[in-house]
Structure 1
Amino acid sequence: MSNKWDESYNIEKYRYGETPNLFFKQTIDALPTGKILLPADGEGRNGVYAATKGWSVDAFDQSQQAREKALRLANKNNVDISYQVMNFEDIAQNYMIDSYDVIALTYVHLPEQLKAKYQRSLLPFLKIGGHIILEGFSKDHVKYQEQNPSAGGPPHVEMMYSKREILSIFDSLKIDLLEELEVELAEGIGHNGKASVIRFIGQKI
């Protein structure tokens, strides 16, 4: 799978743009700065933004090409981020439990058989009182893809989210926000046009 993402990111432009996801930006702007973990952070738009706001940023992705572009973006913005090339299975060997104020998942779409396992595996690394932030395509997004392939999204509906699924995966968290809504995306060349998304904020208690 890493080869797929290396190929996807092997373009001069940033596939999803250089500016942060709007929901991610709005959410962390309202939180005290601290330490943040960004799984599957891609080309670094969210991690770099967080660093410019004073967050201590750890990020990872399975794509070496993504890491190289993220570090270039960090350099362009005069910030430092820690970015590793690895998979979800490697989390325990690389990060400390109870150490993050926020873990953010932005369009992290995983195979159905791995989704719950991988996302639950993040929870031990979140501090008590810390937040999970998630935005991803809802299962209803399929109809938007059919109308406009430029809207983006994974190739299989099973990789998308439902509110019920989020409640099941993160059933140990206090729900601060859970909504499904239509948005207009303008994120590089990868996400453009109307889309159906799930937004979630949960707190570890």
Structure 2
Amino acid sequence: MSQPDWNARYSASEFAYGTEPNSFLKQHADLLLDPVLSIAEGEGRNAVFLASKGLRVHAVDNSSVGLAKAAKLAADRKVDITTEVTDLQNFTPEPNAYGGVVSIYAHLPSSIRAKLYPLLVKTMRPGGILILESYSENQRGRGTGGPSDPDLLLTCGKVEKEWVGLETILLQETEREVLEGKFHTGLASVIQYIGKKSS
């Protein structure tokens, strides 16, 4: 897939996307039920934040370098997270295992989303919450972050079609200032989605 080499991107001593949580996640984190699965977690900023709120967090990513930094960030902030290096193309979480799922800037090809998203719905317990933020197709060409391949970007229509089995609490495309490390900086077009699995 046309993605960065994540081990290379995370190999610098600085954190590519900073150490503070995504602001949309921070705003709505109290909706999440324990435990939480965070996909494409990278260097751990969101998982560590959620752990600091008392949630058990399982962070998955295809970068061993990123997750090593996540574990160190957790230790530095005196919280516990679990990590798993995995290719989301082949990731099969246990059914009915999580009260919350977090997907923050997990820009995946539609072929992977088609397989993964139903599995993520299945891994959520009844009443479980999904929190997602992604760059939208309208982000292309802005130069403030995100992939250029439209297949990796979302629209509200894609979200409605691909996340089957969740009740929509919030779904919108909006412009906001994203200030998350050197790779996500500036005015951006994003998709924000909160879904709830029926009880």
Report TM bin, short chain. Answer: over 0.9
Structure 1 residue 99, shift from structure 2 partner: 1.6
Q: Which amino acid aligns with 2:112?
A: L
Q: Please, which of 186, 193, 203 is the counterpart of residue 186 of structure 2?
A: 193
Cα distance in structure 2, aligned partners of 1:52 and 1:100: 18
Distance 1:74 1:33 in 2: 20
| Alignment correspondent of 2:152 | 159
5+ residue gaps, structure 2, are: none
Q: 1:73 aligns to what?
A: 73
Structure with higher helix content? 1
The 1-side partners of 2:192 and 2:166 are apart by 15
Residue among 170, 181, 190 paired with 2:174: 181
Q: How does 1:17-166 map to 2 (within 5 A)?
A: 17-28=18-29, 30-31=30-31, 33-92=33-92, 95-144=93-142, 149=143, 151-166=144-159
- Secondary structure of 1:59 counterpart: strand
- For 1:131, the aligned partner's letter is I
Instruction: Give the ranges of 4+ consecutive aligned residues of structure 1 lying more than 4 Å apart after TM superposition.
Output: none
Deviation at 1:171, TM superposition (A): 2.7
**Closer/same/farther in 2, CA of residues 31 and 198 from structure 1, 3 Å limit:** same
Q: Which runs of 5+ in 1 are unaligned?
A: none
Read off the aligned partner of 2:147 and give its amino acid letter: P
Q: Quote the offset at 1:89 in angstroms.
A: 4.4
| Residues 153 and 171 (structure 1), Cα distance of their counterparts in 2 relative to 1, 3 Å cut | same
Instruction: Return the letter of the residue paired with 1:183.
Output: R
State the superposition RMSD in angstroms.
Answer: 1.6
Partner-residue secondary structure (3-state), 1:124? helix
User: For 1:18 and 1:42, how far apart are their aligned partners in 2?
Assistant: 11
Distance 1:6 1:155 in 2: 20
Q: How many residues align?
A: 197
What secondary structure sits across from 1:122 in the alignment?
helix
Tell me which amino acid in the other structure corresponds to 2:188.
A
TM-score by length of 2: 0.94
8 Å CA contact 1:3, 1:63 repeated in 2? no
Q: 8 Å contact 2:88–2:112 — kept in the other structure?
A: no
